[in-house]
Structure 1
Amino acid sequence: MASTETPWYTDCTVLEGLECPYTEDGAEFITAVSLGNNTAMLAFMRDVTPDSDDTYTPREEWYIVSLSRYPASSIEYSRIPGPRNPEGVVGMKLVRVGDVVVAYGGRVFGPRSDPFEQHPPHWYMAVYTIATGVWENIPYEEGCMPLPAHGPTLFAVEDTLVVAGGTPSGEGRDTSYDTHEWCLSTSLSFSLSLSLSLSLYIYI
């Protein structure tokens, strides 16, 4: 007998005809995270024309997205300043951890002629406090921070950010199975609380 209950997904609404900044040409590596109260943070890489025949200088753009349902459904995009980024890192991932948002990882664009360093991964971590709208950059500490890698897995467990795996840059580099955790301190800064080297096996 077929169920008469209404599936949850029928409550979703498609908002037609809305202009959004990432529908323009050249937007890649789109990432977003909920801030609560019908708002979200959105970031993406804006591609640009090469400076020369061998180099690109893409940039990262940051927005707050607000959803309004009444009197009519609408979405508003407000561009905001991103974190300090002197190295020009793009393609970060966003994860919400408690009352902050963490921007992690990414890559820089090197010479197109070098197949192994064309888009190398780069260390990047910045923490955005939702209540104040203030960014704090977390510097790299050799020996206790994970190596920059392509495709790490990120998720949050309560007040802890977990970063696992990824593939470091360079010819012959193997996929990493290291797992690192950061927890929120009372000052809303991030501190490295645990670093483990794990071999992860998943059976399906």
Structure 2
Amino acid sequence: MQGVPWYIECTKLPGICSDRTHSQLSFAPIGDRRLLATFRSHDDKEWPEEPTWRRCLILHVSPDKTITSEPASTPDSLNNAQEITLVRLSDYVAGLGEIYDQVTKAWSMGMALFSIATETWEHVPMCAGCCPSLRSRYVTFTLGETLVVCGGMDLGGSFLEDTWEWSLVTRKWTQTENAPVGLAGLTGTVIGDTCHLYQSGDPYHMQYSKGKWKGEENPWDPFESTHGLGGYYSRVGVPLLGHKELQLTQLTVEHDGDSPPPKCWVRDYVSLDLVPLEPLPLTAEDMQGHQQMDLVMLDSTTMLLAQDKYALFVDIDPHLLGPECHTSMVGSGFWVEEEDWEYDFEESESEGEGEGEGESEGESEGGGEGESDDHVEEW
């Protein structure tokens, strides 16, 4: 299937922190084509006493794609944190991570707020029992002035389903509805007042809004062509105008650690269309090793795809961002069959039994490959 052209130009540069030995990179946009980045530095020359300090930088991306940086303060409470996640929260950036207490010799969750206006950090107290417990690979996103933390895995490797909200107004944690399934290592995309998440490689479309979860079948499976290869799947996305999302999906193969280039899609949350887009100009060498994708919009038309080895700036075609852009009922992959589900959602059972197998086969044959080329040309 020929992908739809969607970008004007791609510019590939060395990784954001390629001049440093680092790990655990995370970043969040802070406006004016700037990013707050945090990572663990392993440069013995710069940090002779402790080679694994947490560092923060403010990165400036000029219109000609030149990246400059300046040091930013590092929160004391997160200095020895593992796997910090940064997420934009109104006029702040929230930093959340697993911290080790040198006094108690125990691990717990830690949090700090970075003020974009003053470029300073504020420690956020975490009270045991009234905030998220220690976990890894948790999912975090923001809805307005609320930070949401859900799922992840506990120390024993079990999936967690609890969901917590932290209000920027009240500065308090509130536990909300549990997720219908365990969520770990996923990246959600917020469109309007709803966060959309997908169980990578499984047909689940999870939606969170106003403290409630909703799960329904995901009609088009973007990972269908990679099933059976082994490895694990990942998905990142950024919102477009209205109810559309730009998605990148990727498979990392277990036996050699290399990944095929990510696939690109536009997903429409009203019509449920999934339109394949032209692939990004990435080579096999770019994808060597376990490459985790981070995706962010620098401004209304420039997207940054960051990995350890390179940074890819994508100038998006304005047509994709305008109200005249309409998906054309093009699907990719197989229509999800009811028997493929491992979990039951009451809503999908009541709606899906009558639609069953016959409709699934019809959509797979008619809406998948048979009509796709004509629709792609029209879009």
Question: Structures share a fold, TM > 0.5?
Answer: yes
Residue in structure 1 matched with residue 29 of structure 2 by the alignment: 34
Taking the aligned partners of 2:150 and 2:9, their CA distance within structure 1 comes to 35
AA of the residue aligned to 1:93: T
Aligned equivalents of 2:78 and 2:159: distance in 1?
28
Counterpart of 1:68 in structure 2 is 62
Provide the residue aligned with 1:21 in structure 2: 17
The offset of 1:183, in angstroms, is: 1.6
Q: Are the equivalent residues in 1 in contact too, given 2:163–2:179 (CA < 8 A)?
A: no
Equivalent residues of 1:91, 1:107 under 8 A apart: no
1:58 maps to 2:44: no
Which of the two has greater helix per residue? 2
CA contact (8 A) 2:77 2:111 kept: no
The equivalences for 1:1-204 within 5 A come to 7-15=5-13, 20-25=16-21, 27-47=22-42, 58-69=52-63, 72-85=64-77, 88-108=80-100, 122-169=108-155, 172=156, 174-185=158-169, 190-192=171-173, 194-201=174-181, 202=204, 203-204=217-218
CA distance in structure 2 between the partners assigned to 1:97 and 1:79 by the alignment: 21
Corresponding residue pairs, total: 176
Show structure 1 runs of 5+ residues with no match.
Answer: 50-55, 111-116
Q: Structure 1 CA distance, aligned partners of 2:82 and 2:65?
A: 32
Distance 1:47 1:191 in 2: 35
Rounded to whole Å, the distance in 1 between the matches of 2:86 and 2:112 is: 10
Please report the TM-score for the alignment, with normalisation by the length of structure 1.
Answer: 0.73
Bigger Rg, which one: 2
Cα RMSD (Å) of the superposition? 3.0
Deviation digits for residues 48-78 of structure 1 (CA, Å, limit 9, x no counterpart): 77xxxxxx96221100000112xx5411011
Partner letter of residue 200 of structure 1?
A: P
Q: Does the residue aligned with 1:85 lie in a helix, a strand or coil? A: helix
Query: In the alignment, residue 125 of structure 2 is paired with which amino acid?
Result: P
Q: Which has the higher contact order (CA 8 A, sep 6+)?
A: 2
Q: Which runs of 4+ in 1 moved over 4 A?
A: 107-110
